[in-house]
Chains A and B, each alone.
Chain A
């Protein structure tokens, strides 16, 4: 009686350990090895092996083996169709090697040399949801006694756990494979999306012969600013896309107006000013993988002081992404030649930033842009993207560095006259 209780306790403890082992999907090989230890140790079986069934190759591949007198696992066992059908029909039923069950006879006869050589006495097919996942092979007990009916039940019960463990591992592998496929598919689609956006940007810019490459440059400047502000890779990509597309509304504006080699009159200006809202209309129906792209196109001519268009938004009503596009757009406009004016020097641009921060531009965005520009001028960045976009002779480091540094200090302290003016206007309104 005492021995029976002890046997039960030993078996239950092993079952509990096995359950925990299977439930914790760590290293698969380790899980199977531990499971085999638990199975062998429960009944003190001197040798055993667990093989996983590879359906594609129709082979049983040994994952763990003990007591076979060799370090390496036994060689794969090739199964034929009749083997598989036979093992499936047996289900999770442990059979002695000399069992004459017809469904088992074919398999036992084909592999009897291996079973005899390894001194296996018991075989348990691992069948989960009518799927052959593997097989457990067991030798004799250390006690020398034959397997009892209870032993069979313990073996089959533990084998069921191992079968589920292998099945779960397969499902996880399949899940990972499909996830990887989806990831590749998604990356491919993103690539197509990016290429399409670039094509659109090129189409927008071709319409305006004086500002070719403007959309692409705005995308790149926006990317630089966002990265400087610590945005994630996805967010940076999103803002770059917004930069590429911000002027898409120009597609509906007459080419003559866009290309007018002089300052346009009020009527034409009003026509041109329709492009942000038109851009929103074009972009809104598209499901972009990034947020707010249509709104950024719509609001890129808004100003913090409310004097922008089309909605006259102020301050925080304008998203930070839009503020980035606005600055990038203005920077490119100031640093490229236009039909009615040549581009400004970088000193003039920095002075414009100083004058208009708090009115047209957001201080945080200007600081980020200045910091990125400064790091590039000082040679602290690997790629010299801005230098490439602006032309290498455009930047005169000795003259510009002190100006940028001073602007950063000024803006960070909130000392810019415009910032103070805006702050006082806001406080008097409230």
Chain B
């Protein structure tokens, strides 16, 4: 069950050892910590690859960066792969400038991210969660 975010759950889905988490604009507020917690939960449950989808995220502010650093930290601690997908050009420039891209791979879209990660993990059954 994905964590609730002000009543609305953090959107996520699991594909075997992979999980996709949808960042949305919640990332840029303190409530975005729930996205980090959802990532940590997926990692604790055995996910070894995470995709954070920025499709609905127009921009990432400092709070968002800090939360993403927390996700990077959590992934690195358990040796999991982390890919950011659907990141717009402005945000890519920000991530590059701040050095986040040293720790995380970028993919054009979710499909590309999952394909990249499939090489790393062995997909099993697909579970969709909201």
A residues with a Cβ closer than 8 A to B are 2-3, 6-7, 10, 13-14, 17, 30, 33-34, 36-47, 66-67, 69, 141-145
Contacts and interface: CB of A to CB of B under 8 A. Distances in A.
B30 A142 contact: no
A133 to B, nearest CB: 22
Given A34-B30, A37-B67, A69-B77, A44 B98 contact: yes
Interface stretch (B42-50, B99-107, B113-121): B99-107
User: Which of A3, A142, A145 is the most central at the interface, judged by chain B CB atoms within 10 Å of its CB?
Assistant: A142
Contacts, number: 81
A47 B93 CA distance: 22
A44 B99 CA distance: 7
Chain B interface residue number, banded: 20 to 34
Interface of B: 30, 61-67, 69-70, 72-73, 77, 93-94, 97-100, 102-103
Contacts of B69: 40-41, 44-46, 66-67, 142
Given A33-B30, A46-B69, A17 B97 contact: no
A35 to B, nearest CB: 10
Contacts of B65: 40-42, 44
A34 B63 contact: yes
A44 B63 CA distance: 10
Contacts of B72: 46, 142
Given A6-B93, A66-B66, A44 B100 contact: yes
B106 to A, nearest CB: 15
Q: Top 4 nearest A-B pairs by Cβ distance?
A: A143-B99, A41-B62, A41-B65, A44-B98
B99 A144 contact: yes
A40 B97 CA distance: 14
A37 B102 contact: no
A44 B62 CA distance: 8
Contacts of B100: 44, 142
Contacts of B70: 66-67
Contact of A37 (B66, B77, B94, B99): B66
